[in-house]
Structure formats: C-alpha cells, structure tokens
A = this chain, B = another copy of it.
Amino acid sequence: MPDPELSTTPTPTTPPAPISPPADTPGRPYHHGQLRTALLEAAERTLRTQGASELSLRELARELGVSHAAPRRHFPDRQSLLDALAITGFHRLTIQLNAALATAPPDDFPARLKATVAAYVTFATQDAALLDLMFTTKHRPGATEVAAAAVPAFTQLQDLMLQGQSTAHLPAGNLEPSALVLFATMQGIATLINGAWVDPTLLETLTTTAVTQFLRGAAPHPA
C-alpha cells in the first residue's frame, strides 16, 4: 500500500460504490461470475497471438481486472489451464472435421478424405500453438481427460478409413499403419507450415499431393 490516505481522500461519500479492487472494469460486483470462461477465452487469444510459453496466469488476471490469485480458484495450476485449452481444442477440431465431411458427397471416399485432411491442416495452421498444446500435453502422464477429449476426432478418422475399405479404395485387413501414416502426414504438413519451413501458399498443393499419393500408395494391390 504505497498511499494509504492520499489516494482519493477516503471517499466517505461512496457507500454504493463497492470499494473492492481498482479494476479497470469499475462496476464489477466482486464476484466476476464468469471468470473461468473469461480466462479460457483470454488464454486462447493469448495462445494464438503470443504462444503458449508467453501465457501468464498473472497477466490473464490483469487483463480481466482480477487479482493475481483469482485464477487459482478455477485452475489449480498453470498446467490445468493448458489442459482445459487442449480439451476445448479437441472439441473444436472434432466439430470442424464433422463440418468438413458434411460438405463432401457421402459416398465419394476420395472427396471425403481430401476434405478431412484439408480441414485438419487448416485447423492446425490457424491454431498452431493450440495444436502443439493438444499434442504435447497428451503424453504427460495423468492427462486422462485430455486423452479422452481426443478420442472422438480419432474415431472420425477411423470411421472414414472403414468407409474406404467398404468402397475398396483401401485394402481389407489391418490398415492401422496406413491410417497412422496418413495422420502423421497431416500432422507433419502442419508442422512444416507452422515452423515456416515451407510457404503457407503451398498448403493446398501439399494436401492434394498427400491425399493423392496416399490413395495410390495404400490402394489394394492389383497383383
């Protein structure tokens, strides 16, 4: 407390004003009410603009005009906030993959594959830091919730592969390796673009090439 009395001449005439903190949002009624949501939104913004390493709980608290310890009520530590971000990230990814599938004819496997890959890479490049978080957070021991949130997105890809088998675009049998290789390729393309190893304008070309080569490379052997 640098100025215990000089501040505002104690303002004995302001009982209606909840003295509270000198937050930039002066009218806030002590309890923020939506702190958790607000934190996640602000964090996602910072994540996109500054990256995960720059994300500071105290800075978030300042942005929201709340004390530095307030976030702790909703996220016991920094990592759990990051986990929450990863989880919502997986939800968003699942939704976007679904939406992409809906734009392709239901029985056109190559088109559906292309749409899925494009949607994934688009998501991955628009939210690079988030994707990184989603992937690196997962392997942390004890991140069961994050892992669970990832399941639907994977199921979606798996179902698509099953469709490919049913339409004979893909061979019968265990295609787990093939599917994983395709997934790895998507992930890798995103990494290349996010790391500025290739020009972003190549995104379209790369996804097309990847899908085309995958369809040719994984197709059932004619011989």
A166 within 8 A of B: no
A215: nearest chain-B partner, CB-CB: B217
A168 within 8 A of B: no
A95 within 8 A of B: no
Q: Mark A49-80, 1 if CB is under 8 A from B, else 0.
A: 00001000000000000000000000000000
Could you say how many copies of this chain the assembly holds?
2
Q: How many residues of A contact B (CB 8 A)?
A: 37
| Chain B residues closer than 8 Å to A218, beta-carbon distance | 213, 217
Contact status of A192 and B183, CB under 8 A, knowing A216-B216, A217-B214, A218-B213: yes
Of the residues B139, B186, B219, contact of A194 by C-beta under 8 Å: B139
| Chain B residues closer than 8 Å to A202, beta-carbon distance | 177, 180
| Chain B residues closer than 8 Å to A194, beta-carbon distance | 139
Q: Mark A134-167, 1 if CB is under 8 A from B, else 0.
A: 0110110000000000000000000000000000
Interface centre among A184, A185, A196, A212 (most CB of B within 10 A): A184
Contact status of A138 and B217, CB under 8 A, knowing A177-B202, A184-B185, A188-B187: no
A210 within 8 A of B: yes
A104 within 8 A of B: no
Are A138 and B185 neighbours in the complex by a CB distance under 8 Å? Answer: no
Are B196 and A177 neighbours in the complex by a CB distance under 8 Å? Answer: no
Are B136 and A177 neighbours in the complex by a CB distance under 8 Å? Answer: no
Contact status of A192 and B178, CB under 8 A, knowing A185-B185, A214-B217, A218-B213: no
Chain A residues at the B interface, C-beta cutoff of 8 Å: 53, 132, 135-136, 138-139, 177-178, 180-181, 183-189, 191-192, 194-198, 202, 205-206, 209-210, 212-219
Query: 5 other contacts beyond A132-B136, A185-B188, A216-B216, with CB at 8 A cut-off?
Result: A139-B197, A181-B210, A187-B191, A187-B192, A212-B217
Please name 21 pairs of A and B residues whose Cβ atoms are closer than 8 Å in the assembled complex, sorted by A.
Answer: A139-B195, A177-B202, A180-B198, A180-B202, A181-B189, A181-B206, A181-B209, A183-B192, A184-B187, A184-B188, A184-B189, A184-B191, A185-B188, A187-B192, A188-B188, A212-B217, A213-B213, A213-B214, A213-B218, A215-B217, A217-B218
